[in-house]
Amino acid sequence: MNLYPLKFDPILKERLWGGTKLKNVLNKLISSDITGESWELSGVDGNISVVVNGELRGTSLQELIQQNGAELLGKSVVERFGSDFPILIKFIDANQDLSIQLHPDDKLAKERHNSFGKTEMWYVMDSDPGAKLIIGFNKNVEKDEYIKSVENGSLLDLMNYEEVNEGDTFFINTGKIHAIGAGVLLAEIQQTSDITYRIFDFNRKDKDGNLRELHTDLALDAIDYSMKDDFKVQYSNENNVINKMVDCPYFKTNFIDLTAEMIQDVTKRDSFTIYMCVGGEAEIRDDWGSVLIKKGETVLIAAASKSIELIAEKAKLLEVTI
């Protein structure tokens, strides 16, 4: 099969906290004013991405994996994950604060939900003045102290707030309490998992007037109660080179500030490659074809491609592999 650079139809999600930046900033074809998420590349059951360009248009990601296996994913990826696509790629627009939440690790998620845990990272693409994220605690907290704060409504007093700007990047490991604040547009890279423990939702009600479900008891054994300054990712932004950002067991992410032509020999890369365009536009070529990627778009390159050419006068790309 001709595994040229593949684009997929975004899976758009309305959320209570969603807004209009996916439409107005990233040019998604959206009529709703409360769209919070654009799932760019997904193997989640019920939300399988479908190719939108070229001769494979209309083919699902799952069909591609079944037909091509290691040629698409990489031999080592198939050995670890079988026919499951291991990464979920999103753009998120928070017009309001998201709920405060956390995700269990692989062991706990397997025991409780027969699922992977959820390690993730955020790259801030746009933020309103003063916009913040919640990441972790502002001090070491005992479990009893945490429970008391939930019961008496003082949980926010224990939260660590981080004011953000474009380009800021954060690594959110399992167990770390977090929330995206109002006014933040970001790119999210995560394990393929939809397991979330919501612990506080600002007492919001859904469209039917009901408070959203909290997962207070489930969260107790999943939370990391210690204060850790381990979440802000420091990276270089030299032009036309691979600037390393995150390297964890679940994904590797690099930042590329592209102002010219850049050719990568990926002969030894036993993994697919994902490019998220977070600024400008670029042409991406591989062994089978080429595609134009603009801000807010995502492209999948098959593991069988051994050379990737990136061409742009001005583009910012996140490169993601396993």
What are the extents of the domains in the chain? 11-220, 243-321
Residue tagged active-site, from 198, 204, 269, 285 = 198
Tell me which amino acid residue 64 is.
L
* 3-state secondary structure (DSSP) of residue 39: strand
Q: How far apart are CA 123 and CA 128, in angstroms?
A: 15
> Does residue 113 have a known ligand-binding role?
no
Give pLDDT, residue 169.
Answer: 98
* 3-state secondary structure (DSSP) of residue 220: helix
Shortest CA distance to 310 belongs to which of 280, 287, 283? Answer: 283
Q: How far apart are CA 306 and CA 241, in angstroms?
A: 18
Give pLDDT, residue 207.
Answer: 76
How would you list the strands of the sheet with 184-191, edge to edge? 11-19, 35-41, 87-94, 184-191, 120-127, 169-172
Give pLDDT, residue 194.
Answer: 82
8 A C-beta contact, residue 82 and residue 66: no
> Does residue 178 have a known ligand-binding role?
yes
Residues with Cβ within 8 Å of residue 106, at least 6 apart in sequence: 116, 117, 174
Give pLDDT, residue 27.
Answer: 96
8 A C-beta contact, residue 189 and residue 124: no
Q: What share of the chain is helix, strand, coil (3-state, %, to 5)?
A: 15, 40, 45
Give pLDDT, residue 79.
Answer: 97
Give pLDDT, residue 204.
Answer: 84
Tell me which amino acid residue 239 is.
N
Give pLDDT, residue 307.
Answer: 95
8 A C-beta contact, residue 177 and residue 159: yes
| CATH number corresponding to 243-321 | 2.60.120.10
CATH topology of domain 11-220: Jelly Rolls (2.60.120)
Query: Which two structure tokens, joined as six digits, stand for 276?
Result: 């998220």
Query: Is 198 among the residues known to form the active site?
Result: yes
* 3-state secondary structure (DSSP) of residue 170: strand
Give the mean pLDDT per block of 10 residues along the chain (322 residues): 94 96 97 97 96 97 97 97 96 97 94 92 98 98 96 95 98 97 98 92 83 92 95 96 97 98 94 98 96 98 96 98 96
* Side-chain-facing half-sphere of 316: CA atoms under 13 Å: 13
Give pLDDT, residue 208.
Answer: 82
55: left (phi over 0), alpha (psi -120 to 50) or beta: alpha
Q: Is 243-321 the same fold as 11-220?
A: yes
Shortest CA distance to 249 belongs to which of 157, 321, 303? Answer: 321
Q: Running DSSP on this structure, what letter comes out for residue 124?
A: E
Give pLDDT, residue 205.
Answer: 80
> Does residue 215 have a known ligand-binding role?
no
Residues with Cβ within 8 Å of residue 192, at least 6 apart in sequence: 42, 43, 44, 84, 85, 86, 87, 88, 116
Q: How far apart are CA 262 and CA 254, in angstroms?
A: 14
Give pLDDT, residue 209.
Answer: 82
